[in-house]
Amino acid sequence: MEEKIAIQGIKGSFHHQVAGEYFGQDVQVDECRTFKDVVDSLLTNRSVSGVMAIENSTAGTILPNYALIDDNDLQIKGEHYIPIFMNLMVLPGQKISDIKKVCSHPMALLQCHNFFKDYPHIELIEDTDTADVARRISEEKLKGVAALASKTAAQIYHLDILNEGIQNMKSNSTRFLVLSSKNSVPVVTGSNKASLKIILENKKGSLVSVLNILRDFDLDMTKIQSVPVVDVPWKYAFFIDVLFQEEEELHKVLGILGELTEEIKILGIYKNGLL
């Protein structure tokens, strides 16, 4: 039985594109309706790995996905970046004047809101997946409805593209994480990036102290994201990505940070996807 990769969405989605580019075009996927379903696929061993979007250069971070990774002890074993080109697609023969509503994932709608300022008659409706809307339009022959999705989705579901690349920023891109369950943590050779979760002690200057240590040991911090700690008002966890040269040096730094923080957790050690 061929191993599957869990993706949010269906074939033709951007998650499907990432799975194909990362694991090979013949990859077998477990199509999941939500990100929580991706997690369940990993925890129940329906899939050996999962693909999950974590941030977009235009719309920002998908904060709930940090909680899903952390709460379920998932491990980050890789990352992959792709440019996102949003395309407005419809049943063959439809025109922009025929369109009454556009359905797509909330992040996709957010990335394209400038385009729709010129079309106030079009209602924007949030949906679960870009490609799934394209599939429904095709299968149910929905007129007056458009999808925002990839060119691949238009090809798979035989839709016409009315407008190509309508995202607000032409350099729009999304970072995806490649995940596994804690029970199947892989050994990643050539690793040079780590994702950490840190909860600071309630002391003045505690965050500055952490950042100074990263600087002193020449660790390049590429991201820091604060997320509220559930059930503790006004307390935050910090999710930090750092680049390192030697893994031994990284663990030395983590040992030092452990003395300065309430909690430190390694979410993954993997290869930088931008190299």
Co-location of 75 and 177 in the same domain: yes
**Domain count along the chain:** 3
> Is residue 73 domain-shared with residue 176, that is, in the same domain?
yes
Is 187 domain-assigned? no
Confidence of residue 96 (pLDDT cuts 50, 70, 90): very high
Could you tell me if residue 235 is inside a domain? yes
Mean pLDDT for the stretch of residues 190-204: 92
- Reported as a single tens digit per residue, the pLDDT across 18-50 is 999 999 999 999 999 999 999 999 999 999 999
What is the domain range of residue 240? 193-270
Model confidence at 196, pLDDT cuts 50, 70, 90, reads: very high
The answer as to whether 275 is a domain residue is no
Residues 229 and 111 in one domain: no
Residue 202 pLDDT grade (very low, low, confident, very high; cuts 50, 70, 90): confident
Do 97 and 200 have their domain in common?
A: no
Q: What is the pLDDT of residues 237-249, one digit of tens each?
A: 999 999 999 999 9
Q: State the amino acid at position 206 in one-letter form.
A: S
In a domain, 247, yes or no: yes
Q: Any idea what the CATH number is for the domain that residue 257 is in?
A: 3.30.70.260
Average pLDDT over residues 174-193: 83
225 and 248 part of one domain? yes
Query: Looking at the whole model, is its pTM more than 0.85?
Result: yes
Question: What CATH number is attached to the domain comprising 78?
Answer: 3.40.190.10
